[in-house]
Amino acid sequence: MFMNPFTLYDQTFPSRLLLGTAAYPTTEVLRQSVAVAKPAMITVSLRRAGSGGETHGQSFWALLQEMNIPILPNTAGCQSVQEAVTTAQMAREVFETDWIKLELIGDDDTLQPDVFQLVEAAKILIDDGFKVLPYCTEDLIACRRLLDAGCQALMPWAAPIGTGLGVVHEYALKVLRERLPETPLIIDAGLGLPSQAAQVMEWGYDGVLLNTAVSRSGSPTDMAHAFALAVEAGRLAYGAEPVQPREQAQASTPTVGQPFWHSAEY
């Protein structure tokens, strides 16, 4: 069975699913979803956590403590290096953790990461002692620059945030996995269905981070459970070494030694 530990920055986690905490209908639904998914970490945005709504405020902060799941703060909404660095430093004080999901957006419509500023911000934060998980594109060269900056894991997107489109550039993601075989790669953004999560795990990706696909579904608790099962199934399938696709049919049942055969008498 191929279920080697999921390790990021020398810390091992029991799950390969990471779950966002935004846009759930109520804090109780969020609590139930986290309980069934049992994620490795939950992501929280310092900039958006105080924006109001049922999943924010004092009840939200109390819930974070109650769930006792490692928190991964993120810099969602940041559009400059200084803004991202300052937000990360504030998040470290608030959540008492050196972990940070580094988001630095370069386009308001697609919410595509600005990979140039991302590398600069990553260097600053790593020098400051942060364990940086950068939200990036599937571009191999940009990913290599992030690794050169000191990042030990990457979070490439499957599609733009919140779209639920699934994998848009299959070739690029497969190449990225192939060319960076020793780097933990977590698919972040764009997945909409558990089958899509299982697919990327079957390709050898190390984990999946979700928010919209769960929180905005008709039943977030059931969807969280479905994604957790899909991530585990995909990883098991990857380790089981799937058969290679082939164009020509091949019988799965052997014919040698059959007890019966065709006869002219029948």
Name beta bridge partners: 23: none
181 Cβ contact list (under 8 Å, min separation 6): none
Indicate the SS3 state at residue 55: coil
Annotation-wise, does 212 bind a ligand?
yes
Annotation-wise, does 190 bind a ligand?
yes
CA proximity to 183, closest of 142, 143, 139, 231:
143
What single DSSP character describes residue 110?
T
Annotation-wise, does 192 bind a ligand?
no
Is 101 catalytic? The answer is yes
Q: Which of 101, 123, 131, 174 is catalytic?
A: 101
Annotation-wise, does 162 bind a ligand?
yes
The 8 Å CB, 24+ separation contacts for 217-225 are 220/24, 220/25, 220/29, 220/30, 220/32, 220/33, 221/29, 221/32, 221/33, 221/36, 223/33, 223/194, 224/19, 224/33, 224/34, 224/36, 224/37, 225/36, 225/37
Q: What angle do CA 55, 85, 205 make, to 5 degrees?
A: 70
Annotation-wise, does 68 bind a ligand?
no
As annotated, the binding site for 1-deoxy-D-xylulose 5-phosphate includes 162, 189-190, 211-212
As annotated, the binding site includes 162, 189-190, 211-212
Which residues have a catalytic role annotated?
101
